Amino acid sequence: MSLDVRTVVLLGSLMAAALALILVCAQGRYARLLRESMTLWVRGLVTLLLAQVLFGLRDVAPDLLSIVLANTLMAAAFVGFALGLRRFAGVKPQAWLLWLPVVLMAAAMYVLTALYPNYLARMVVFSVGMVWILALMLRPLVGSLHRGGPVGQQVVMVSIIAAITIILVRMMVLVLGPAPAAGLLDNSLVNTAALAYMSVAPVLITVGFLLMCNERLMDDAVRLSTLDALTGAYSRRALTDLSERALAEARRYRRPLSVLMVDADHFKQVNDTYGHSAGDAVLVEIMSRLKASLRTEDFVGRIGGEEFLVVLPATPEEEALRVASRIRERIANKTLVYGREEIPFTVSIGVAERDPGEANIDLLIKRADDAMYAAKRAGRNRVFAASAINDVPD
C-alpha cells in the first residue's frame, strides 16, 4: 500500500501551523534575544505552512502558485529558520547570502514552469537551492556534535544533515535513474521518502530549536546564581563554595593559599558626586582591572557593595602582596572616563595567608578584612598584610 504524497504534504502544513502556535505562546517566557530568534522562526513556520498548502494543491491550483510560489516559499521558510539560528547564536546574519538562492530559485522556477516546462530541471534547481540554504544553517552549529555538546544544537544539526542527504539522494536517483521523473506527487519510494522527511524535518528542527532555547534559559539561570549580574564576579554563594574547595585542597596538599580583600575607597562619595550609574561603572572597571592582574587559576567574587574577594591558590603571603600591589597600582594609575566626567578611584587591599592547619575559610577572610580596614586607617590606597596588622595604629 503506497503512501499518498499529497496527504503527507498537507499533514506537514498542519504540523507547521501547530509548531508556530506553540512558539507564539511560548515567546513571552523568554528573554528579548530569544524572543527575536523565535519571531524569525515563527515567520519561517508560517511561510512553510503556505508553501505546503500550495504544494498539496499541485494539479489543482495554477502552476505559478503550486510550483513557482510554493518552491520559493519553501526556500524562504528555511531562510527564516537560518536567520533565527544566527540571531540565537549572535552570528552576523549575512542575509544576502541566504536570500540569493531564493531569488535565483524563483527566477529559475518561473522559466522552467511558464516558459520551458521541465520537472526534472526544476527538481535539480530546488535541490541545489535547498542544500545551499541548509548548509548555511549548519554554520552556527559547527562543533556542537562533540561529546557533551548542547543537545538542542545536536538535534538541529543531525536533522539538517539528514535533510541535505535525502535531498541529494533524491536528486541523484531521479536524474540518473532509468525511469523519467513523473512529477512532485509521484508515488515512487525515493520521492515519497524525501517528501515525507521534508515534511517532518521542520518539526525535528523546531523541537531542537526549542531545546536550544530551554538550554539557554538553564545556562542563564546557573550563571545568575553563580555570577554577579553587574560585574561578572562570582556571587557570594558561589565564592564561598569555591573558597572552601580551594582551602580543602591547600590543606590536603600542604600548599599555601592567600586571599585579598579589595574595597573601593570613598565609594559613597563617587555615588553622591557622579551618580549611581557612574558608581556601577567604577565597580565594573575595578573587576576588569582585577582580572587583568590575575592568573587563570585565581578567582574573584563580589561579597558586598564595593568589596571584592580574590582567592590566590598556591600563593604565599609575599607573592600575594606583590599581586595586591600590582592591582592597586593598575587601578590607581588610570582614571575612568564616564560620560563627560573623569572619575579617579582607588582601592585598599588586605592580604591574608592561610595559617598552618587553618580549616575555616571565614577566619581567613576575616583576617584579610581586618587587614583591609587597617589599610584604610593608614590612609587608603594601600596594601596591608594581616601578619603586620599590629603595626598599624588605631
**Count of other CB atoms within 10 angstroms of residue 183:** 15
Stretch among 81-85, 150-154, 174-178, 261-265 having the lowest mean pLDDT: 174-178
Residue 61 exposed, middle or buried by CB count within 10 Å (0-12, 13-18, 19+): middle
Tell me the C-alpha distance between 105 and 128, whole Å: 9
Q: What single DSSP character describes residue 65?
A: I
Tell me: the pLDDT tens digits for 215-247?
Answer: 888 877 777 778 888 998 998 888 888 999 999
Tell me: the pLDDT tens digits for 106-124?
Answer: 999 999 999 999 988 998 9
All three cell numbers of 2, joined, read 503506497
pLDDT, residue 390, reads: 61
Tell me: the pLDDT tens digits for 246-272?
Answer: 999 999 888 999 999 999 999 999 999
H/E stretch holding 261 reads strand 257-264
Tell me the C-alpha distance between 334 and 325, whole Å: 15
DSSP letters, 108-119, are: HHHIIIIIS--H
Contact 287, 299 (CB under 8 A): no
pLDDT, residue 271, reads: 92
Query: Grid cell 520559493 — which residue?
Result: 72
- Residue with more model confidence, 295 or 29: 295
- How confident is the prediction for the chain on average, in pLDDT? 87
- Residues 6 or more apart from 258 whose CB is under 8 A from it? 312, 315, 316, 317, 319, 320, 351, 352, 353, 354
Query: Grid cell 538550554 — which residue?
Result: 215
CATH T-level topology, domain 5-221? Rhopdopsin 7-helix transmembrane proteins (1.20.1070)
Tell me the C-alpha distance between 260 and 146, whole Å: 39
Task: Determine what percent of the chain is predicted with pLDDT higher than 70.
Answer: 93
Triad 175, 178, 179: Cα angle to 5°? 85
CA atoms within 13 A on the CB side of 34: 19
Assigned CATH for 236-391: 3.30.70.270
**Residues 164-192, mean pLDDT to the nearest whole number:** 75
Query: Grid cell 528579548 — which residue?
Result: 32
- Residue with more model confidence, 236 or 317: 317
Tell me the C-alpha distance between 42 and 344, whole Å: 49
pLDDT band of residue 1 (cuts 50, 70, 90) is: very low
pLDDT band of residue 148 (cuts 50, 70, 90) is: low
Do domains 5-221 and 236-391 share one topology? The answer is: no
Structural domain spans, the chain: 5-221, 236-391
pLDDT, residue 178, reads: 66
> Residue 394 pLDDT > 60, yes or no?
no
DSSP letters, 324-388, are: HHHHHHHHHTS-EEETTEEE---EEEEEEEPPTT---HHHHHHHHHHHHHHHHHTTSS-EEEGGG
